[in-house]
Amino acid sequence: MGEIPELLERAAQLSALDEAAGAVRSGGGGRLILISGEAGAGKTALIRRFRADHPRLLRGACDPLFTPRPLGALIDLAQQSDGLLGELASSAGRSPATPVAWAQAIARTARDSPGLILVLEDLHWADEATLDVLSLLGRRIDTFPALVIATYRSDELDRGHPLRRVLGALGGPARRLTLAPLSAAAVRELAGPHGPDPDVLHAVTGGNPFFVTEALASDDAVPATVRDAVLARVARLGPDAAAVLDAVSVAPPYVEIKLLEALAPDGPPLSNGLPSPNSLSSSNSPPSPNSPPSPNSPPSPNSLDEALRAGMLESVPGGVAFRHELARLAVEESLSPHRRLALHRDVLRALLGGEHPEPSRVAHHAEAAGDTAAVLAWAPAAAGQAAASGAHREAAAQYARALRFAAGLSPASRAELLERRSYECYLTEQTPDAITALREAIRHRRAIGDRLGEGAAHATLARCLWCGGYPDDAAAAGREALRLLDGLPAGPELAVAYTSQASIQLNIEEYAATLELGEVAIRLGEEHGVPEVVAHSLNNIGTMRLLAGEPEGIGHLERSLALAEREGLAEHVGRAYLHAGWAMTRARAYHLAPWLDRGVTACEDLGLDGWTHYVLAYRARYHLDQGRWAEAEADARYVLDTVGDVPLLRVLALSVLGLIHARLGRADPWPLLDEAHALTSGRAELQYLAPVATARAEASWLSGAPVGDVLRQTWDVALRRRAAWLLGEMAWLERLAGAEPPVVEIPLPEPYALQWGGEVEAAAERWRLRGCGYDAALALAGAPDEAGLRAALAGFQRLGARPAATIVTRRLRALGVRDIPRGPQRWTRGNPAELTRREVEVLTLIQQGLSNVEIAGKLFLSTKTVHHHVSAILRKLGVTRRGQAAAEAARRGLTAG
């Protein structure tokens, strides 16, 4: 029996797709639609029905491989197109393009052919490079006329899944469509002509459309599982057709006809000993198989036709594929071990017999075939290709694949693989794995007496240990690197060791040592031609000088960034933006704020997840200091939702959120601040201590509690490190709380120096020039007279900072002032959600059905600003969708009357 043709309970989603396609064709800007649902929810069926009305649609699907092939879905999609996209697809195997190049090509193609529709299916299997392209398209979707549709399985996204981070970042630009299970009524309608008890069928399948369809198509009693239903259909096929299904099942996502011809049953096994495409020691030329492809006869056309007629397979561009991935899995899992092994060997042989074999695909089948030589030849090549595409997580997985087969390699070769894997793990926040791999590499280097390699590995280990939150171990590893390299001829390894030590000194903010070690590293790096070391050390010196309040430091960072961009040093590009964020938020140097948005974009484009998160964390602090509560909360929450257990990132984000709660008085800040404080246990670095101590001190002041004990440890460290900006902030908080802070024996930066000199109005003006309105009000809160306190009150009230406004009001009353302003009156009484005037304006336009782009045009705002307002509205109303917000607004009477 063929596939059930009805597409029930999907009319709303189909209509949304049709409307979006029409809007794009009519010049309404681009659209991004995300379609989610559990496996078998009907995402593919919905796209197939949509495609019937939009035949020019281009479609690509991600692969369910052990390690995804970089940009595989985009390459498949582009092969259906001419022009720039077609050129990228044809060159992908030889010279992979970056995600930025793919996004630019799609945008240019859309501008040349308005109304372009692209479908990327099964993003839960996507590689990082594909996700980077999606992220780029989502951020820029309103700049080119294309409809981008992406599907994914919602039930396969755990907390750390890379796709979840992309979905969180897309936010406003994307429209989300969810495919829910079928209702009992829909199952009853489907089951009616076929006889099974519909209530039992609904209970057994849970309303999953694929389960229902497969169960009904089996012509038997309702199977206990979908596997039984699929295999019951397979059992009705002839042996040749069943063999076709076996062959297609082991080579997702589809099998080319030419490849299928080589997968006839009973072909000779593939021998080991395949040459390397890019071995650890030799050439870059593609390998040739040791024996020609199997000469056995291909499956007959009738057997393939039978499999297609049975509804198990379907024709796709370039070959055939299972209609449903769950059916493919059921068939693959039913294969006996020796049958599965033989098929993978046949696929491997066939792939190697073709032109330009794709390394990731070859490596997948080589592992499944148990072919050690092929894995060691092709997995590193696949890793290199993935890294070049910005898919660093996939690169790490490919190196891990090679290491599983590396027992027979020399210790030096194993160490090299381990070091490569460690670096890719380091770039993707898999820090424990990076550390483990490096320590194993060090054991191999030591075992063969490779003192130079061991020293270099220790220098790299120091960096990983610091990022993992082990500062003492990092310092010890750095010292060990210098010990091992001492006495050996100076070379690149010694340069790396010196810059690593300079970085450690920077992280503890030891000014003199950072500059001294950094200058030595720059000299060695230039002498031995190591641009990575020069870029790294320029960064160390520039960041240290900015932290110390020396504006000249930005010149070093700019030189570091320029060198990194010129040499293609992705890590050091990200590090420049990360450290600019760290230094500018410490020294309130917000004339450098454009670095933050540029940094987020650059790090995302380069696939640097960890660096992106740090820049976002510092951008959250910047928004906080500028009084942009919604923007600060959005960035901080995104960081918390995506970083897992990275201590410093959580400290930064928790501190920002805790301060927002404390300053606005809307929620208890202490659970957040206590969690942040717990993460500083055993730490002595101001990066950890400062944001937590100042946030807890301010929250204590706002609640009327003393602040001295909260600040004591951080005060001592800040004095040793001569951290003038931090000392000024802490001392003023103690003064506001009524205590006399310890004596500060170093010059304070201008705003704080003016405050301590009694010139609070002048200090407030300096803060306002930096955009820091809350700090300006804090300065005025220490004024001895009515005029200064009134100005402080007005500042706090403008920002909605009610707890601080309450403290200043009490001080005014203590001076005998009675005509104290109550603050801005709520401009509409029916506003229990405490929306701002601008938020209600945006909400009114949401109720009218306007998009973010249209709202931005109406209110003369940027689309990004509108997105932040929409996020704040959804949060305050306790809803997750724009339609729900409109309904809730109508219920509460939230209008701009």
Nearest to 543 by CA among 614, 649, 631: 614
Query: Is residue 189, in this structure, part of any structural domain at all?
Result: no
* Confidence check: pLDDT of 287 > 70: no
For the segment 530-548, the average pLDDT, to the nearest whole number, is 96
- Asked if residue 431 and residue 396 are part of one domain, the reply reads no
Question: pLDDT (tens digit, 9 = 90+) per residue, 576-604?
Answer: 999 999 999 999 999 999 999 999 999 98
Domain residues for the domain of 861 are 837-892
**Under 8 Å CB-to-CB from 853, ≥6 apart: which residues?**
29, 142, 863
DSSP for 337-394 reads HHHHHHHHHHHHHHHHTSSS--HHHHHHHHHHTT-HHHHHHHHHHHHHHHHHTT-HHH
- Asked if residue 384 and residue 461 are part of one domain, the reply reads no
Query: Is residue 716, in this structure, part of any structural domain at all?
Result: yes
Least trusted range by pLDDT, from 91-95, 107-111, 231-235, 244-248: 91-95
Query: Is residue 301, in this structure, part of any structural domain at all?
Result: no
The pLDDT assigned to 222 comes to 36
The Cα–Cα gap between 799 and 626 comes to: 10
* Confidence check: pLDDT of 415 > 90: yes
The Cα–Cα gap between 715 and 734 comes to: 11
The Cα–Cα gap between 827 and 249 comes to: 64
Query: Is residue 202, in this structure, part of any structural domain at all?
Result: no
- Asked if residue 587 and residue 444 are part of one domain, the reply reads yes
Instruction: Judge contact between 107 and 138, C-beta under 8 A.
Output: no
* Confidence check: pLDDT of 259 > 70: yes
Confidence band (pLDDT; 50, 70, 90) for 298?
very low
- Asked if residue 165 and residue 24 are part of one domain, the reply reads yes
Straight-line distance from the first to the last Cα atom of the chain, in angstroms, rounded to the nearest whole number: 61
For the segment 273-279, the average pLDDT, to the nearest whole number, is 38
Domain boundary among 408, 426, 446: 408
Domain boundary among 372, 392, 408: 408
- CATH code assigned at 485: 1.25.40.10
Whether the full predicted model's pTM is greater than 0.75, yes or no, is: no
The pLDDT assigned to 274 comes to 36
Q: Across the chain, which distance is largest between two alpha carbons, in Å?
A: 102
* Confidence check: pLDDT of 281 > 80: no
Confidence band (pLDDT; 50, 70, 90) for 333?
confident
Instruction: Judge contact between 646 and 613, C-beta under 8 A.
Output: yes
- Asked if residue 724 and residue 798 are part of one domain, the reply reads yes
Domain boundary among 180, 201, 216: 180
* Confidence check: pLDDT of 613 > 70: yes
Residues 256, 258, 264, 270, CA torsion sign: negative
Question: pLDDT (tens digit, 9 = 90+) per residue, 740-791?
Answer: 888 788 899 999 999 988 999 999 999 999 999 999 999 999 999 999 999 9
DSSP for 2-69 reads ------TT-HHHHHHHHHHHHHHHTT---EEEEEEESTTSSHHHHHHHHHHH-TT-EEEE----SSPP
Confidence band (pLDDT; 50, 70, 90) for 496?
very high
- Asked if residue 391 and residue 426 are part of one domain, the reply reads no
Query: Is residue 683, in this structure, part of any structural domain at all?
Result: yes
Query: Is residue 210, in this structure, part of any structural domain at all?
Result: no
For the segment 842-866, the average pLDDT, to the nearest whole number, is 78
The pLDDT assigned to 172 comes to 65
Query: Is residue 480, in this structure, part of any structural domain at all?
Result: yes
Confidence band (pLDDT; 50, 70, 90) for 194?
low
- Asked if residue 846 and residue 763 are part of one domain, the reply reads no
Nearest to 784 by CA among 807, 748, 760: 760
The Cα–Cα gap between 520 and 501 comes to: 11
Nearest to 585 by CA among 429, 770, 779: 770
Q: What secondary structure, in 3-state letters, does 567-582 show?
A: HCCHHHHHHHHHHHHH
- Asked if residue 712 and residue 701 are part of one domain, the reply reads yes
- Asked if residue 423 and residue 390 are part of one domain, the reply reads no
The Cα–Cα gap between 218 and 205 comes to: 14
User: How many other β-carbons are positioned within 10 Å of the β-carbon of residue 800?
Assistant: 17
* Confidence check: pLDDT of 623 > 50: yes
Count: domains in the chain = 5
Pairing of strands 58-61, 31-37: unpaired
- Asked if residue 844 and residue 708 are part of one domain, the reply reads no
Confidence band (pLDDT; 50, 70, 90) for 219?
low
Q: Where are the alpha helices (DSSP H) in 128-279?
A: 128-139, 162-170, 184-191, 198-205, 209-217, 226-235, 239-249, 257-261
Least trusted range by pLDDT, from 62-71, 293-302, 489-498, 778-787: 293-302
Find out whether the peptide bond into 96 is cis, omega within 30 degrees of 0. no
The Cα–Cα gap between 230 and 234 comes to: 6
One-letter amino acid for residue 723 of the chain: A
- Asked if residue 634 and residue 600 are part of one domain, the reply reads no
User: How many other β-carbons are positioned within 10 Å of the β-carbon of residue 127?
Assistant: 30
Average pLDDT in the chain: 85
Query: Is residue 198, in this structure, part of any structural domain at all?
Result: no
- Asked if residue 418 and residue 507 are part of one domain, the reply reads yes
- CATH code assigned at 154: 3.40.50.300
Residue 103 three-state SS = helix
The pLDDT assigned to 708 comes to 80
The pLDDT assigned to 833 comes to 61
Give whichever of 76-80, 652-656, 827-831, 893-897 has the largest mean pLDDT.
652-656
The pLDDT assigned to 872 comes to 79
- CATH code assigned at 872: 1.10.10.10
User: By percentage, how much of the chain surpasses pLDDT 90?
Assistant: 50
Q: Where are the alpha helices (DSSP H) in 781-829?
A: 786-799, 802-814
